[in-house]
């Protein structure tokens, strides 16, 4: 019996060494990255670019699994219920971590993002472009406001889904301009952009990362950006605020999350790898081309940022009366 404490200490040390060696070897097989939105949209594009760098660094494939729908709760719920071994990770953003807390009724959000997800790190920030279908006889933000006031309820605003910054950004626009515009949610921004090009909807507030190719090609007409300053890649397009809507500003962001129960060692290792990837010249060049800003930082910094964004978007939801469409 006197040797029992020694045995316990020895066993504990052995288990710690085994756990440490397992983490050191991580990852030993492909990692699944769940993205709660459609292929081709902004979350998909930026996540795939990050994944390319992580594959180079970590020596294992990252399999992208797009799971759009239900205000991004379908894919997020899959992450929540995944085995917490580091081999299923998720992309989470302003929608899943901040907006849905105030927009969705509790029964429609089958998890608590604050309790059921572990934040690994934020890796990007971007903003939206207000784009119009070319058939709409409008050339500027001021003209759009005037047209919308003359035709209440006749214009449709496409978005990549309920709760996105395309949805809430449109609601904020309506609050600040006193206009009536119908929100039309899609399963992802690519579908909304397609209908915008075709003229089935008239306007869209969409992440620059996904809408910019259509603006450059002239398939849609960009008239304003949602940031505080003009975009370096579209210097001739004013901010929405300077174009006639003072106080208008929105941004979109995203990061990597894991299911609760994942070891701190794996969280730390993934965070280190993400921060390293964000310094890669190739990734930074590709992000710059689509106006996505690499962020990085600690899990704790990400958590503090999420808290601030939750308060901000709750205020927008309350003032706009935004709801699921």
Give the pLDDT of residue 35. 97
In a domain, 111, yes or no: yes
Contacts of 176 (CB under 8 A, 6+ apart): 245, 246, 247, 248
Instruction: Report the pLDDT averaged over residues 8-36.
Output: 73
- Per the listing, tokens 């930082």 go with 297
Q: Torsions phi, psi of 73, nearest 5? A: -85, -25
> Given a cut of 90, is residue 272 above it in pLDDT?
yes
* Widest pairwise Cα distance in the chain: 89
Contacts of 125 (CB under 8 A, 6+ apart): 251, 252, 253, 292, 293, 295
In a domain, 9, yes or no: no
Expressed as residue numbers, the domain containing 315 is 28-122+253-320
Give the pLDDT of residue 10. 57
In a domain, 233, yes or no: no
In a domain, 242, yes or no: no
Instruction: Report the pLDDT averaged over residues 256-275.
Output: 97
**Do 117 and 132 lie in a common domain?**
no
Q: Quote the mean pLDDT of the chain.
A: 92
Q: Which of 2-11, 56-65, 165-174 has the lowest mean pLDDT?
A: 2-11
CATH of the domain at 62: 3.40.190.150
In a domain, 206, yes or no: yes
How many C-beta neighbours within 10 Å does residue 193 have? 25
> Given a cut of 60, is residue 22 above it in pLDDT?
no
Give the pLDDT of residue 6. 64
Residues 48-106: pLDDT tens digits? 999 999 999 999 999 999 999 888 999 999 999 999 999 999 999 999 999 999 998 87
Give the pLDDT of residue 120. 98
Give the confidence band of 285 by pLDDT, cuts at 50, 70, 90: very high
Q: What is the 3-state secondary structure (H, E, C) of the chain?
A: CCCHHHHHHHHHHHHHHHHHHHHHHCCCCCEEEEECCCCCCHHHHHHHHHHHHHHHHHCCCEEEEECCCCCCHHHHHHHHCCCCCCCEEEEEEHHHHHHHHHHCCHHHCCCCHHHHEEEEEEEEEECEEEEEECCCCCCCHHHHHHHHHHCCCCCEEEECCCCCHHHHHHHHHHHHHCCCCEEEECCCHHHHHHHHHHCCCCEEEEEHHHHHHHHHHCCEEEEEECCCCCCCCCCCCCECCCCCCCCCCCCEEEEEEEECCCCHHHHHHHHHHHHHHCCCHHHHHHHHHCCCEECCCCHHHHHHHHHHHHHHHHHHHHHHCCCCC
Domains contained in the chain, number: 2
CATH of the domain at 145: 3.40.190.10
């Amino acid at each position: 019996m006197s040797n029992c404490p020694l045995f316990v200490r020895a066993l504990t040390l052995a288990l710690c060494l085994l756990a440490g060696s397992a983490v050191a070897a991580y990852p030993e097989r492909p990692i699944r990255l769940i993205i709660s939105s459609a292929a081709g949209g902004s979350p998909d594009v930026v996540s795939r670019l990050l994944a390319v760098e992580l594959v180079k660094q970590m020596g294992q494939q990252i399999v992208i699994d797009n799971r759009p729908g239900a205000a991004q709760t379908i894919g997020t719920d899959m992450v929540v219920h995944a085995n917490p071994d580091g081999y299923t990770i998720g992309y989470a953003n302003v929608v899943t971590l901040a907006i849905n807390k105030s927009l969705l009724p509790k029964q429609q959000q089958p998890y608590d993002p604050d309790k059921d997800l572990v934040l690994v790190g934020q890796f990007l920030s971007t903003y939206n472009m207000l784009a119009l279908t070319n058939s709409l006889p409008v050339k500027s933000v001021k003209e759009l406001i005037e047209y919308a006031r003359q035709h209440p309820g006749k214009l449709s605003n496409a978005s990549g889904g309920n709760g996105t910054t395309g949805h809430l950004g449109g609601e904020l626009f309506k609050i600040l301009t006193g206009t009536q515009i119908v929100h039309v949610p899609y399963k992802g921004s690519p579908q909304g952009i397609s209908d915008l090009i075709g003229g089935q909807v008239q306007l869209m507030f969409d992440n620059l990362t996904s809408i910019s190719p259509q603006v450059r090609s002239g398939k849609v007409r960009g008239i304003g950006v949602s940031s505080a300053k003009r975009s370096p890649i579209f210097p001739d397009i004013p901010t929405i605020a300077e174009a006639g809507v003072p106080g208008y500003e929105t941004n979109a962001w995203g990061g990597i999350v894991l299911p609760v129960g994942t070891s701190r060692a794996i969280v730390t290792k993934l965070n280190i790898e993400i921060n390293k990837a964000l310094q890669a010249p190739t990734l930074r060049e590709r992000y710059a081309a689509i106006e996505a800003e690499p962020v990085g930082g600690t899990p704790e910094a990400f958590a503090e940022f999420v808290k601030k964004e939750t308060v901000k978007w709750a205020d927008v939801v309350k003032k706009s009366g935004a709801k699921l469409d």
